[in-house]
């Protein structure tokens, strides 16, 4: 790409953890997903499951940060709502597994995981400083020169 064209788009360039992970695991998938922006033919239920669990844990830690406690029922409700919303808004078929064959099984798995978390989490002696804190950092060359690329994402949890 000519250098002057690169300068025109440099403000839009960023690299996320997901992009790096995808590239390391399958450069062809990276190409289709991020370069040619081909729509996915299907999505794994694992993506929706992970997002929903993440939402429930964020709810818990945000409450702790604000000096409150979140109930297990609220966490489960957050998980279920997030999961169902994502499933219902999916544009492609969702792939389930033999172990988790349908939406009800996914909800039960999530409930049991949240129950295990809730009964075992102990933040005694810790302070929740941040939950879902945005992160952006310039990437540097091997020679220490800044590039036009940024690593962007969020830090799930910071404890003190």
pLDDT, tens digit (0-9, with 9 covering 90-100), for 1-31: 344 444 444 455 667 778 888 889 999 988 9
Kindly report whether the global pTM for this prediction surpasses the value 0.85: no
85 pLDDT exceeds 50? Answer: yes
Confidence of residue 33 (pLDDT cuts 50, 70, 90): confident
Count of Cβ atoms closer than 10 Å to residue 34 Cβ: 15
CA 145 to chain centre: 30
pLDDT at residue 150, rounded to an integer: 85
Q: Where are the alpha helices (DSSP H) in 2-158?
A: 3-9, 17-25, 27-30, 45-65, 72-88, 103-120
CA count, 13 A, side-chain hemisphere, 84: 9
Mean pLDDT of the chain: 88
Partners of 138 in the beta sheet?
Answer: 150
58 pLDDT exceeds 50? Answer: yes
């Amino acid at each position: 790409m000519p250098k002057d064209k690169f300068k025109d788009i440099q403000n839009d360039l960023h690299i996320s953890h997901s992009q790096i992970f995808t590239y390391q695991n399958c450069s062809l998938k990276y190409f289709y997903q991020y370069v040619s922006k081909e729509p996915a033919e299907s999505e794994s239920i694992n993506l929706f499951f992970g997002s929903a669990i993440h939402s429930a844990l964020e709810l818990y830690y945000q409450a702790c940060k604000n000096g409150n406690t979140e109930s297990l029922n609220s966490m489960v409700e957050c998980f279920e709502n997030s999961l169902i919303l994502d499933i219902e808004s999916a544009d492609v078929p969702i792939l389930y597994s033999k172990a988790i064959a349908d939406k009800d099984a996914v909800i039960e798995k999530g409930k049991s995981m949240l129950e295990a978390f809730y009964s075992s989490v102990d933040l005694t002696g810790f302070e929740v400083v941040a939950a879902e804190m945005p992160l952006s950092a310039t990437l540097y060359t091997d020679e220490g020169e800044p590039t036009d690329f940024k690593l962007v994402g969020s830090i799930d949890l910071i404890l003190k």
